[in-house]
Amino acid sequence: MEQKLLNTQKNINSSIVVAFDLHDVLFSFSAFGVLRTLWKLPYKSTLILHLFSPSFWKTYFATKKQALSTERRFGLLVTQFPFLKKYRSNFIELCNQQRVDQKTLAYIKQLKIAGYRLIVASNIGENTYKDLAKRFPDVIALFDYAFTSGKIAGYKKKPYHSYFVALRKYIHKNIVDGEHIVFIDNKRKNIRIAEKHGICGIHFTSAEKLPGAFDKIITKFAAS
């Protein structure tokens, strides 16, 4: 009888898709890793020379105003400043100097065991994500799918509406029994926009507060 109830609970949970942001939720930058990566960059003098160019920064800020992922913006900069091409792998390595938040990771494992469907919903570029998956295979393996700011998102990023429109379409296409979507992100603006698209949001402030916030939403789903 207890096993039957457990299976029923898992069936209910499997209809709930939990979308996790990565940075400042599950991962945080490693300052030591960033400094180590910068130190071993090749052609430092050439890079520094170009960084003092006003035209470089004008182009940089022009791309920053666009709704593009960081990786896509770097690609645009390469077209304007070909010397950056040799730093593409270094750029990805720099972005992925991350540390895992063990408390958030532990909770994600609990959700996985409980039968929830898990998906990455991040502004990370698709190539950067592939590299991250190689660095942290056991962590990334916990997720059923990954929605990045690459081709599947039209190279757009949060908090733009088009990102969340594409996210919903992606989830409904790949998880046909996904009735509800819970989106966990550390930025309130992203949560507000997500909720305008029928996605339940949780503003992440700490791993300690996440279970309580999640349980409140699940209770609402059960009561509806």
Tens digit of pLDDT at every position of the chain (224 positions): 333 333 435 556 878 999 999 999 999 988 888 888 878 887 777 777 777 788 888 888 888 777 677 888 888 888 888 888 888 888 888 888 999 999 999 999 999 999 999 999 999 999 999 999 999 999 999 999 999 998 888 888 999 999 999 999 999 999 988 889 999 999 999 999 999 999 999 999 999 999 999 999 988 887 76
Q: What's the token pair of residue 42?
A: 């090749």
How far is it, in rounded angstroms, from Cα 49 to Cα 74?
18
Sequence-separated (6 or more) residues with CB below 8 Å from residue 115: 9, 10, 11, 13, 14
Question: Where in the chain are the domains?
Answer: 2-29+99-223, 31-95
- Fold adopted by 2-29+99-223: Rossmann fold (3.40.50)
Helix or strand holding residue 202 (H, E) = strand 200-203
Helix axes 54-64, 70-80, angle to 10 degrees: 140
> Do 13 and 182 meet the contact criterion of CB atoms below 8 Å apart?
no
pTM listed for this prediction: 0.84
What pLDDT does residue 81 have? 86
DSSP state at residue 119? E
